[in-house]
Chains A and B, each alone.
Chain A
Amino acid sequence: DAGVIQSPRHEVTEMGQEVTLRCKPISGHNSLFWYRQTMMRGLELLIYFNNNVPIDDSGMPEDRFSAKMPNASFSTLKIQPSEPRDSAVYFCASSSRTGVHGYTFGSGTRLTVV
């Protein structure tokens, strides 16, 4: 298995532009999580899905952020419009309800908004 796949690895964009981050979870995993990591705030859970359904989006900072999971193998996190304070590393993780409950993280997307 290739693990959790995120794209792009790096994104530099200008303030006000739309940014879309993508994630492919591990096949067979039915829970997917989006995290944001910064030096100041550590790992923050933004939203998570179970069986493609959003369960808890209380961590989404504001309406500029939205996430979708149209099927079991794909999810997106969109920021529109982006702001410099959105600059962070965004991680996607997936897990299975059977077996161990640990998450497998993707390699992350380093977002820089200038």
Chain B
Amino acid sequence: GENVEQHPSTLSVQEGDSAVIKCTYSDSASNYFPWYKQELGKRPQLIIDIRSNVGEKKDQRIAVTLNKTAKHFSLHITETQPEDSAVYFCASLSGAGSYQLTFGKGTKLSVIP
């Protein structure tokens, strides 16, 4: 089955700096890659996603990039703010009629004011 590796497990940045979280996946048939943000004590919430026919997608301060050849995708947050502090999860959806997302282990991002 699909395996998703996520790095780093923890990340601390100064407010205003950029943060990058990287994930790799194993199933070359995977075709959908969402990112979730989970604030302390709350549910994971979808913040951005990318499909396999697109190399990059941007939404204000967040962007995702996908390299299908290398089977990795990344989340980029620019101009970080304290409210960006949370745990971020990447995930992948395998092709062939799969319904199941496979999640990475998560990255705890701390933005230091």
A residues apposed to B, CB below 8 Å: 31, 33, 42-43, 45, 48, 50, 55-56, 91, 95, 97, 100-108
Contacts and interface: CB of A to CB of B under 8 A. Distances in A.
A45 B100 CA distance: 9
Interface-centre pick from A56, A100, A101 (highest chain B CB count, 10 A): A101
A100 B103 CA distance: 17
Interface residues of B, number: 16
7 contacts: A31-B99, A101-B34, A102-B34, A102-B46, A102-B101, A105-B45, A106-B43
B93 interface: yes
Contacts of A50: 99
B32 A101 contact: yes
Interface of B: 32, 34, 42-46, 49, 89, 93, 99-101, 103, 105-106
Nearest to B89: A43
Question: SS class of chain B's interface: helix, strand, loop or mixed?
Answer: strand
Given A43-B89, A100-B49, A105 B103 contact: no
Given A100-B49, A101-B32, A102-B34, A91 B43 contact: yes
B99 A105 contact: no
A63 B7 CA distance: 34
Interface pairs A-B: 4 shortest CB-CB: A105-B43, A102-B46, A102-B34, A42-B105
B103 A48 contact: no
A95 B43 CA distance: 15
B34 A105 contact: no
Given A45-B100, A48-B99, 5 more contacts: A42-B105, A43-B103, A48-B100, A101-B34, A104-B46
A55 B34 contact: no
A103 B106 contact: no
Nearest to A104: B46
A45 B46 CA distance: 17
Contacts of B34: 101-103
A63 B60 CA distance: 46
Given A42-B105, A56-B100, A103 B89 contact: no
